[in-house]
């Protein structure tokens, strides 16, 4: 019995070996099958306005047959939450679009890959400092490390109803005093209640708009070391007082508030506002009937031009699984023909310097009365500053908004509102 079992066992082993090893060796295939890497890309531009078109992605995949792109479109609002969770749980995408104002929070926590070593400091052969403007490069850099490449930039300029300006014989304001004069000439009280309700300067009481007045008046949010809030300085108080006076004293400004800007633009409540180049695409889609009636100009200032500098960046999360392939994709997106797509499809301003200088984006825009619009924004980047690169920025942003709102609603004096906001932020920075 034992012998029989041994024989059976030996037979089984022989049979297995015979199956595993063919009698005649098969020659190896000429080219071993390529392993395909799939990278996940989260994009918040929206399917209708993304520069990352199916054609662009297909072209990338054709050029890189070993890489597939899994494209996922997310809302701008949803991106922050989803990416926060993904970074926390260690399951992030390989590439993502991020608002440049989110960068400090995540970069300070070590959430993004340092693109320097991955790229050798170059994008498509051009050193970063040649491919991007100095302001853009500074915004892309956190503590000496380039953590994002800017896809489109955002800087605020004045949008104004050129048809109304012509009709009323008004010049585009260049100073705050002129802004008040022009605002009062434009504003109309249609319901006779004594408060102008049409052709106003639209705003939101947020850090984006308020900081423009602060910078224009020579103020700063934080000290140069980013350790202390200083916007309750005389410059800050004066700038905020002007912002408040536009609403409560001169009655030329309209808090867009809970609505979007488009309804106010369409029904004529808004005749001027400050916003970034992305708004050109938004306004064209939202109010096509106003073609030829809007133009853009540098925002009026008191002491010096100023704006926040932001936009959209492309990042590789630090826990991304396929960093090399992700970088290849970013580099492909930064090729001139693709970077121009930011203007072509989103109506925004490309972050890549070569794309900004390209004749394809320096075109006359019939919506804006045949104005060549992008140079106006490009010029503003020279004096624009990104928001302070501190981890607490998201919370600071809300505190500033509350301070400005308290002053606008006259719940507090301007000085008191700013002092309280500064104290709260300083406590936060000290944590």
- Where do contacts with other proteins occur on this chain (CB under 8 A)? 80-81, 84, 87-88, 105-106, 109-111, 255, 257-259, 267, 391-392, 394-395, 398, 402, 405-406, 409, 411
Nearest-approach distance from CB 430 to other proteins, in angstroms: 14
Nearest-approach distance from CB 222 to other proteins, in angstroms: 17
Measured from the CB atom, is 102 or 176 closer to other proteins? Answer: 102
**Residues 162 and 197 sit within 8 Å (Cβ to Cβ):** no
Distance CA 246, CA 248 (A): 6
Nearest-approach distance from CB 102 to other proteins, in angstroms: 10
Measured from the CB atom, is 149 or 318 closer to other proteins? Answer: 318
Measured from the CB atom, is 192 or 224 closer to other proteins? Answer: 192
- The contacts found for 334-343 with CB under 8 angstroms, 24 or more apart, are 334/123, 334/124, 334/131, 334/149, 335/124, 338/51, 338/56, 339/51, 339/151, 341/51, 341/52, 341/53, 341/56, 342/51, 342/151, 342/152, 343/374
State the angle between helix axes of 234-248 and 207-216 in degrees (0 to 180), rounded to the nearest 10.
120
Strand order in the sheet with 37-43: 67-73, 37-43, 95-99, 309-315, 149-155, 349-350
Measured from the CB atom, is 131 or 256 closer to other proteins? Answer: 256
Give the number of other CB atoms < 10 A from CB of residue 414: 24
Distance CA 200, CA 213 (A): 17
Measured from the CB atom, is 77 or 171 closer to other proteins? Answer: 77
Nearest-approach distance from CB 420 to other proteins, in angstroms: 11
Encoded tokens for 392: 């607490």
Measured from the CB atom, is 113 or 373 closer to other proteins? Answer: 113
Nearest-approach distance from CB 282 to other proteins, in angstroms: 19
**Could you tell me which residues come within 8 angstroms of residue 238 by beta carbon, excluding any fewer than 6 positions away?**
217, 302
Measured from the CB atom, is 365 or 424 closer to other proteins? Answer: 424
* 307 phi, psi to nearest 5 deg: -165, 160
Measured from the CB atom, is 39 or 83 closer to other proteins? Answer: 83
Nearest-approach distance from CB 431 to other proteins, in angstroms: 9
Nearest-approach distance from CB 230 to other proteins, in angstroms: 22
Nearest-approach distance from CB 406 to other proteins, in angstroms: 6
Nearest-approach distance from CB 192 to other proteins, in angstroms: 12
Handedness of CA 62, 63, 64, 67 (dihedral sign): negative
**What is the tally of helices (H) and strands (E) in the chain?**
20, 15
Measured from the CB atom, is 76 or 304 closer to other proteins? Answer: 76
Distance CA 120, CA 255 (A): 47
Distance CA 117, CA 282 (A): 37
């Amino acid at each position: 019995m034992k012998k029989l079992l041994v024989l059976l066992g030996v037979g089984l082993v022989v049979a297995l070996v015979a199956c595993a090893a063919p009698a005649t060796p098969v020659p190896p295939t000429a080219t071993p099958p390529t392993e395909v890497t799939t990278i996940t890309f989260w994009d918040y531009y929206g399917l209708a306005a993304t520069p990352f078109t199916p054609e662009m992605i297909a072209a990338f995949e054709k050029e890189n047959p070993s890489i597939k792109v899994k494209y996922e479109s997310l809302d701008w609002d949803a991106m922050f939450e989803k990416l926060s969770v993904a970074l926390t749980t260690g399951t992030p995408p390989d590439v993502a679009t991020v608002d440049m104002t989110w960068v400090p929070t995540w970069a300070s926590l070590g959430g993004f890959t340092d693109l320097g070593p991955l790229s050798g400091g170059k994008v498509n052969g051009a050193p970063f400092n040649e491919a991007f403007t100095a302001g853009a490069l500074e915004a892309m850099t956190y503590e000496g490390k380039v953590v994002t490449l800017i896809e489109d930039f955002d800087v605020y300029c004045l949008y104004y109803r050129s048809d109304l300006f012509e009709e009323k014989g008004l010049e585009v304001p260049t100073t705050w005093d002129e802004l008040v004069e022009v605002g009062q000439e434009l504003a109309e009280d249609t319901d006779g209640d004594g408060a102008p309700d049409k052709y106003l300067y639209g705003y939101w009481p947020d850090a984006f708009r308020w900081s423009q007045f602060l910078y224009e008046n020579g103020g700063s949010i934080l000290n140069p070391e980013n350790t202390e809030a200083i916007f309750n300085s005389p410059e800050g108080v004066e700038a905020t007082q002007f912002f408040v006076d536009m609403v409560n004293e001169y009655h030329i400004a309209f808090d867009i508030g809970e609505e979007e800007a488009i309804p106010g633009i369409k029904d004529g409540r808004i005749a001027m506002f400050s916003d970034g180049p992305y708004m050109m695409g938004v306004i064209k889609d939202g109010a096509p009937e106003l073609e030829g009636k809007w133009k853009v100009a540098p925002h009026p200032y008191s002491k010096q031009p100023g704006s926040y500098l932001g936009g959209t960046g492309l990042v590789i999360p630090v826990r991304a699984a396929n960093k090399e392939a992700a970088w290849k994709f970013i580099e492909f997106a930064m090729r001139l023909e693709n970077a121009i797509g930011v203007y072509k499809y989103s109506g925004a301003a490309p972050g890549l310097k070569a794309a900004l200088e390209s004749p394809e984006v320096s075109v006359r825009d019939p919506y804006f009365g045949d104005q060549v619009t992008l140079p106006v924004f490009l010029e503003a980047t020279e004096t624009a500053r990104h928001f302070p690169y501190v981890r607490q920025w998201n919370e600071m942003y809300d505190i500033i908004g509350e301070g400005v709102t308290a002053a606008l609603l006259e719940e507090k004096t301007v000085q008191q509102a700013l002092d309280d906001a500064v104290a709260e932020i300083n406590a936060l920075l000290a944590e």
